Structures are given as C-alpha cells and as structure tokens.
Chains A and B, each alone.
Chain A
C-alpha cells in the first residue's frame, strides 16, 4: 500500500515536471514510450522514411498537449491515441487510408528488421508469432498488439482506435482466428488448434 502511494507520488511529481515543460522529464518520457510510438507507426503501414517524422509529430503534439492531459486515461493510452491519430491522419493526407484495411505485403513483412526477441517461451516462437501478426490486416494487428502486448482494455482500445467496443471485439476475434490459421500453416496443422 505504502509502495503504491509512494509510486503514485513519484508519478504525480513526474507528471508535474512534464507539464511544466521540463526537458529532462520529457527526455525520460520519450525514452519510455518511443518504442510504442514507432511500433504504432510501423504497424499502420507507414514507410521507414515516414515513421520518424510521424513519431516526432506525435511527441511534439504530446509535449504541447500535456497541459491539457486530464489524467483520466493512462499516460500510455493517451500517447497511443495521439500516435494512432497522427499516423492515420498522415495516411489520409497521402491518400493511403486503404492501407489500414489492406493486408501488408509479405515481402515487406518478411524483410523488415526484427528486434531482439528475448523469448519468454523460446526465441523461435516469438519470431514466428510476430511474423504472423505482421501478416494480419493492419487494424486487426493493431487490436491484437494493443490487447495482448500493451494489455489495454477493450474500452481503451476503442478510444485509441476511435471505433466502437464491438468493432474492437470483432477485430480482435478475427485477428486471433487468422493468427491461428497463419500459425497452423507455418507450423503444421497438428501443432495449432484452428477452429
């Protein structure tokens, strides 16, 4: 209990520093969330040369908007929603909205540089699963990543992706089923249950 209170106090202090425009605190904020923002931009189908620009815009928007951050949603959820909006707006501006619905080209998914999978299960499994997620339509992949990787609630995912909870649930269900199919094809039917 006391640890929780202490952590909350620390968080409040950090948030206060962030809101006051403290650069050191914002540097820590970037450090903490940069992977998240890059992950969001990449999975939504931005090209490598566009990702850093959109990520920068996201952090700039966060910096400018911190004064208005109410604290109702978690800081991570709040940043996810900014990153998602920035990336989708970028795709809209460049008339590439269709990319959200489309399935990513397997060539790109296969050739992309992978991060180190410090496997909890085993390295191979992590890699195979991640490659399978990359083959999903982007909105399904986003829902899967937010739910399983970021452990966001359905309500938070709906807020981030600006869609209804039912649509999120549908995306999650379809994504999960497709994942099983992809994994079944990759590993052999007897290893994966496919409904």
Chain B
C-alpha cells in the first residue's frame, strides 16, 4: 500500500497529499446563516455606536464652546466687549447705515453678561447643527 523503498519517498508524499486532500472537514449545518446574521448584528451595533459617539462629541463640543464663551465673558468682559465693539466699529466704518446701530446695541448689552450666556448657548447650538448638517451623515454612514 505504501512505498517500501527509500527512493520512493516521492510516492509517499503523493499518497499523503491525495489522502489529505480527499478529506472533508465536518462543519455544523446552518453555520453560514448564523455567521451572516452575526455580521449584520455587529454592523448594526457598530453604526449605532458611531452615532452615539458622534452625538456625544457634538454635545460635548457645544457645551465646551458655550462654557468657554461664558468663562471669557466672566473673566475678561472688557476685552470681549471691546473686541466686539471693535468689530462693530470697523463694520460701521464701512458705511453701512444698519451697522451704525451695532455700537448702540453693544452699549445696551454691556452691562448684562447674561445676554452673552444665552448668546453662547445659541452659538453652540448653531455650530452643532451646522456641523451635523455638513458632516453628520458622512460620519454616520462610515
């Protein structure tokens, strides 16, 4: 059945090869279906995890930005207001009649930092919405 001669090692290799190749490994039935459903499940979980992460990041971003604006307004109110005033002045200098009213508005809110807190909140929300609008879908689809 097997080669008895040392020089016939090649035949032994050939029989070994053919015998091993003719073997078929038993696989539990329904493995394909179970595997594919597991992959679909894993995909769904991954997409869900990405959405949650993206939402959390957006929320954290808007909170941090809002908080940063608030802190700036509290610690350096003069600098912030003069900066805003400077912006407004430079705009008014360009000759817009509408912009002439901006310094007056700044004057009104100068003594009420609460306004800026609300402003920061709205600004954060706007940035979050804007980013979500631009890249949210692309992030979710990844």
Q: Is the CB of B19 within 8 A of A30?
A: no
Inter-chain CA distance A149–B6, complex, in Å, is: 22
Q: Name the contact of A56 in the complex, choosing from B22, B25, B35, B43 (C-beta under 8 A).
A: B35
Q: Is the CB of B6 within 8 A of A193?
A: yes
Inter-chain CA distance A56–B16, complex, in Å, is: 30
Check if B32 is an interface residue, CB within 8 A of chain A: yes
Q: Is the CB of A35 within 8 A of B27?
A: yes
Interface residues of A in 141-195 (CB under 8 A from B): 144-145, 148-149, 151, 176, 179-180, 183, 187, 190-193, 195
Of A8-16, A103-111, A119-127, the one contacting chain B is A119-127
Q: Is the CB of A191 within 8 A of B4?
A: yes
Q: Is the CB of B3 within 8 A of A193?
A: yes
User: Which residues of chain B come closer than 8 Å to A121, judged between CB atoms?
Assistant: 15, 18-19
| Contact A118 to B25, CB < 8 A, known contacts A125-B15, A187-B1, A193-B3 | no
**Chain A residue, CB-CB nearest to B21:** A149
Check if B2 is an interface residue, CB within 8 A of chain A: yes
Check if B36 is an interface residue, CB within 8 A of chain A: yes
User: Which residues of chain B come closer than 8 Å to A60, judged between CB atoms?
Assistant: 38-39, 42
Q: Hey, which bits of chain A sit against chain B, CB under 8 A?
A: 21, 23, 26-27, 30-31, 34-36, 38-39, 42, 52, 55-56, 59-60, 63, 113-121, 125-126, 129-130, 133, 144-145, 148-149, 151, 176, 179-180, 183, 187, 190-193, 195
Q: Is the CB of A129 within 8 A of B8?
A: no
Interface residues of B in 119-139 (CB under 8 A from A): none
| Contact A59 to B35, CB < 8 A, known contacts A115-B26, A129-B19 | yes
Q: Hey, which bits of chain B sit against chain A, CB under 8 A?
A: 1-6, 8-9, 12-13, 15-28, 31-32, 34-36, 38-40, 42-43
Q: Is the CB of B24 within 8 A of A183?
A: no
Q: Is the CB of B2 within 8 A of A191?
A: yes
Inter-chain CA distance A133–B31, complex, in Å, is: 26
| Contact A23 to B6, CB < 8 A, known contacts A133-B20, A187-B1 | no
Q: Is the CB of A130 within 8 A of B20?
A: yes
Q: Is the CB of A34 within 8 A of B2?
A: no
Q: Is the CB of A39 within 8 A of B25?
A: yes
Q: Is the CB of B22 within 8 A of A120?
A: yes
B93 to chain A, nearest CB (A): 55
Q: Is the CB of B27 within 8 A of A126?
A: no
20 sample A-B contacts, Cβ–Cβ < 8 Å, listed by A number = A23-B40, A27-B32, A52-B31, A56-B34, A59-B39, A119-B22, A121-B18, A125-B19, A133-B20, A148-B17, A148-B21, A149-B21, A149-B23, A179-B16, A183-B2, A192-B2, A193-B3, A193-B4, A193-B9, A193-B12
B18 to chain A, nearest CB (A): 4
| Contact A190 to B4, CB < 8 A, known contacts A27-B36, A35-B27, A56-B35 | yes
Q: Is the CB of A23 within 8 A of B20?
A: no
Inter-chain CA distance A117–B15, complex, in Å, is: 13
A66 to chain B, nearest CB (A): 11
Q: Name the contact of B24 in the complex, choosing from A30, A115, A133, A190 (C-beta under 8 A).
A: A115
